[in-house]
Amino acid sequence: MEELVKALTIGVTNGLIIGLIAIGYTLVYGILELINFAHADVFMLGTAFTYFATELIVRGLGIPASSTLALFLTLLALPVIMLMTAGINASIERLAYRPLRNAPRLAPLISAIGMSFVLQNVGLLLLGPSQKAVEPVLPRTDLVFFPSGAAWFGIDEIIVLSVTIPLLLALRWFVGSTRQGKAMRATAQDREASGLMGIDVNRTISLTFLIAGGMAGAAGLVVALYYGQTFFQYGLQFGLLSFTAAVLGGIGNLTGATLGGLFVGIVAAMSDRFIEAKWTSVIVFSLLILVLIFRPTGLLAEQQSERA
């Protein structure tokens, strides 16, 4: 029973991170009907940048890893990292997708696959071929315990939650209540009409990519700290999980992406704990395929589309 709750907690924590990445997929798909293959690799770069930040703080500035100052400085780096990944994501859109705005639908998708590999190799160049351990800046002290005395969760989970949840809420607010957010939603619904209504479509799309990239960067920082490492192939691993989350929640649906993230996070945690980690990818992929075949609009959608 405790095993179950522990796995659930891990699942929820991971799930929020996955949801943060999934939102990036869903935002971009909503506005361009494009699966941004490179998105998860932008996230990976976020983990890499965090690695370098902690290296700088601990090795460069000599601040001890376990000190509060180190953690504080690292969290200070969060907006910087988010800006960087946001910029990278928006640049990818300008370079690789915008020229293909009017091309047949599969053209930007193939271009996205190409960009994904480019970013992966940038990560490879920066990090080398194996995992790199991130300085243990994140305190791991267990705070809450089960009746049996086993640890349930600790400061690290709390910090993860206090980064991810506010970001998710802020995003919710932004898309729902601000003018730019409305522009994003309008452009997602009908690009041509929005343009005719005076919305600067290109700027709105760039903004979408900036936000998606920023979220990916934040998720990157969280993962680098929480998992304690960075790896140039993180894009592949997390990409699968978060894309599945986006699809599950109904691609284009923000709340759905978050809920989908939680669902996938829990499924993955359960699989890791109760089956075997080597089967988790198979299970998640199968889930993705099944959802796409039987409920492509996602588990949360109310309507199914016409047959013809």
Partner 1 sequence: MTEMVRAPRRTFPNPMAGMDDRRRQIVILAIVVALALLYPLVYRRLSDAIPFVPWPDTAVLVVCATFAILALGLNIVMGFAGLLDLGYVAFYAIGAYTTAFLASNHFGVHISWWIVLWLAVAAAAIFGVMLGAPTLKLRGDYLAIVTLGFGEIVRLVFRNLGDITIALPAILGGAVLVGPNANLTGGNVGINPIDPPIIPIPGPWGNQLIFSNQNVIASWYLVLGLLTITFFICRRLRDSKLGRAWMAIREDETAAAAMGINTVTTKLLAFSLGASFSGFAGAFTGAYNTAIFAETFSYNVSILVVVIIILGGIGSLRGVVIGAFALLYVDRTLLPWIGDNIINDPMHDLGVSTGQQILTDFKLTTYNYLIFGIVLVIMMIRRPEGLFPDAGAKAEMHGVGIAAEVTGASEAELTVLGELEEVELDDAPDPDPNAPAEPPSTTTGPEAAR
Partner 2 sequence: MSAMPATAAETAGDLLVATGCTKRFGGLIAVSDVDFTIPRGSIVSLIGPNGAGKTTFFNMITGLYVPTEGRITFDGVDITGDKPHEVVRVGIARTFQNIRLFGNMSAESNVLVGLHHRLKGRWFGAILKPPSIIREEEEAHARAMELLDLVGLGRRKDTLARNLPYGDQRRLEIARALATEPKLLLLDEPTAGMNPEETRRLTDFVRELRTRLGLTVLLIEHDMKVVMGISDRVTVLDHGEKIAEGSPGEVRADPRVVEAYLGRGATSEG
Residues of the shown chain interacting with partner 1 in the complex, contacts defined by CB under 8 A: 33-35, 95-96, 99-100, 102-111, 113-118, 120-122, 124-129, 236, 240, 243, 247, 278-279, 281-282, 285-286, 288-289, 292-293, 296
* Cβ count within 10 A of residue 172: 15
Residues 6+ apart with CB under 8 A from 100: 107, 108, 111
Of the ranges 47-55, 69-77, 173-181, 300-308, which one interacts with partner 2 (CB under 8 A)?
A: 300-308
Please state, in angstroms and rounded to a whole number, the distance separating the CA atoms of residues 6 and 150.
10
* 307 belongs to the binding site for partner 2 (CB under 8 A): yes
Please state, in angstroms and rounded to a whole number, the distance separating the CA atoms of residues 164 and 220.
11
Cα first-last separation, the chain: 48
* 308 belongs to the binding site for partner 2 (CB under 8 A): yes
CB of 308 to partner 2, least distance (A): 5
Please state, in angstroms and rounded to a whole number, the distance separating the CA atoms of residues 181 and 179.
5
Q: Which of partner 2, partner 1, none does residue 60 bind (CB under 5 to 8 Å by kind)?
A: none
Nearer to partner 1, 1 or 177 (CB): 1
Q: Which of partner 1, partner 2, none does residue 306 bind (CB under 5 to 8 Å by kind)?
A: partner 2
Nearer to partner 2, 130 or 304 (CB): 304
Nearer to partner 2, 104 or 149 (CB): 104
* C-beta separation of 214 from 86 below 8 A: yes
CB of 119 to partner 1, least distance (A): 8
Nearer to partner 2, 276 or 302 (CB): 302
Of the ranges 6-14, 29-37, 289-297, 299-307, which one interacts with partner 2 (CB under 8 A)?
A: 299-307
Q: Does residue 148 sit in helix, strand or coil?
A: coil
Nearer to partner 2, 1 or 308 (CB): 308
Nearer to partner 2, 177 or 305 (CB): 305
Nearer to partner 2, 104 or 129 (CB): 104
Burial of residue 164 (CB within 10 Å: 0-12, 13-18, 19+) is: buried
CB of 188 to partner 1, least distance (A): 16
Q: Which of partner 1, partner 2, none does residue 116 bind (CB under 5 to 8 Å by kind)?
A: partner 1
Sign of the alpha-carbon torsion through 157, 160, 166, 171: negative
Angle between helix 234-248 and helix 106-127 axes, rounded to 10 deg? 140
* C-beta separation of 101 from 196 below 8 A: no
Please state, in angstroms and rounded to a whole number, the distance separating the CA atoms of residues 158 and 52.
23
- Given the rule CB under 8 A, which residues bind partner 2? 303, 306-308
